[in-house]
Chains A and B, each alone.
Chain A
């Protein structure tokens, strides 16, 4: 697994599959219905919404996860997760998306362990704004996955790099 990652210009398919399934599991447990993976990841462009950042890492490798939620999707998610809609502008919105990123990372860490990547989760951070651009580094392999949920579309970006 380690050699494969070192030599690869893309994230190994088995890791992408694990992350994809982890996203589906996590959001199904929150929303009650599974989001659907959309092969068309959509156009690049600034995001009006929230981005949750977290990583699953070990001393050799870091799998960075960026959960990109458009405003409307995030508002619907808050209702499903805590029972009522929280204002997009409130600090609670960042807290919510950070926590959902944390839950996702827990699922990814548990599943990715089964294919030989044993790691732990970092603490989550969240960025909220109306003109957010996802910075995906060129060098490490990265992947962008789009999902359609009952509250709207969202994206999961991931990058696999060497740990510092």
Chain B
């Protein structure tokens, strides 16, 4: 099973543990975790190795949506799924996160492993590779072959 480096951002240690526990129950990939306590901390820890992000909204210093925007503004990060995992439930908030913040999915707390699975399974293939990443590599390979020929 492929190893996936996941960034989990939440000011609650209990919730970071809950996300990790749910992901380990899914058996869809072998996750390696990087944890951050707020958006600012997450931005400091964010690098090219991060493949998927699980992100709370309401945090001190920098909110999840501010972090998400900052990640998308870096460029060349569209292939990284950003999954909001938050207590914010109003439709207006969902709209802001997905359309202005650049998040891909929205899960409200409390969540179950099943709910997490239904939300993120489309990002993984049967071998546990991130589909978006695989597609990106296929495209790179395709253009590389064209250039060679």
Interface residues of A (CB under 8 A from B): 29-30, 81-83, 92, 95-96, 98-99, 102-103, 105-107, 109-110, 113, 121, 123
Contact, CB under 8 Å: A123 / B58: yes
- A95–B92 Cα distance when bound, in Å, is 27
What residue in chain B is nearest A83 (Cβ atoms)?
B21
The residues of B that contact A95 with a CB separation of less than 8 Å are 12-14
The residues of B that contact A123 with a CB separation of less than 8 Å are 11, 58-60
Given the interface contacts A106-B109, A123-B58, does A82 sit within 8 Å of B88 by beta carbon? no
The residues of A that contact B110 with a CB separation of less than 8 Å are 29-30, 81, 103
Contact, CB under 8 Å: B18 / A82: yes
The residues of A that contact B108 with a CB separation of less than 8 Å are 106
Contact of B17 among A29, A82, A107 (CB under 8 A): A82
- A30–B87 Cα distance when bound, in Å, is 13
Q: Name the 10 nearest CB pairs between A and B, nearest first.
A: A106-B87, A110-B89, A110-B90, A103-B87, A99-B12, A95-B14, A102-B87, A106-B89, A103-B109, A96-B14
Contact, CB under 8 Å: B14 / A92: yes
- A107–B58 Cα distance when bound, in Å, is 14
Contact, CB under 8 Å: A106 / B88: yes
Contact, CB under 8 Å: B14 / A99: yes
Tell me whether B50 is interfacial, beta carbon within 8 Å: no
| B92-120 Cβ-contact flags toward A at 8 Å (1 or 0) | 10000000000000001110000000000
Contact, CB under 8 Å: A121 / B14: no
The residues of A that contact B92 with a CB separation of less than 8 Å are 113
| B12-55 Cβ-contact flags toward A at 8 Å (1 or 0) | 11110110010000000000000000000000000000000000
A-B contact count (CB 8 A): 52
What residue in chain B is nearest A25 (Cβ atoms)?
B89
* Nearest CB of chain A from residue B91's CB, rounded to whole Å: 8
What residue in chain B is nearest A104 (Cβ atoms)?
B87
A-B contact pairs, 28 of them (CB 8 A): A30-B110, A81-B14, A81-B18, A81-B110, A82-B17, A82-B18, A82-B21, A92-B13, A95-B12, A95-B13, A95-B14, A99-B109, A102-B12, A102-B58, A103-B87, A103-B109, A105-B87, A106-B86, A106-B88, A109-B89, A110-B88, A113-B90, A121-B58, A121-B87, A123-B11, A123-B58, A123-B59, A123-B60
- A95–B16 Cα distance when bound, in Å, is 11
The residues of A that contact B90 with a CB separation of less than 8 Å are 109-110, 113
The residues of B that contact A29 with a CB separation of less than 8 Å are 110
The residues of B that contact A109 with a CB separation of less than 8 Å are 88-90
* Nearest CB of chain B from residue A88's CB, rounded to whole Å: 14
- A115–B58 Cα distance when bound, in Å, is 23
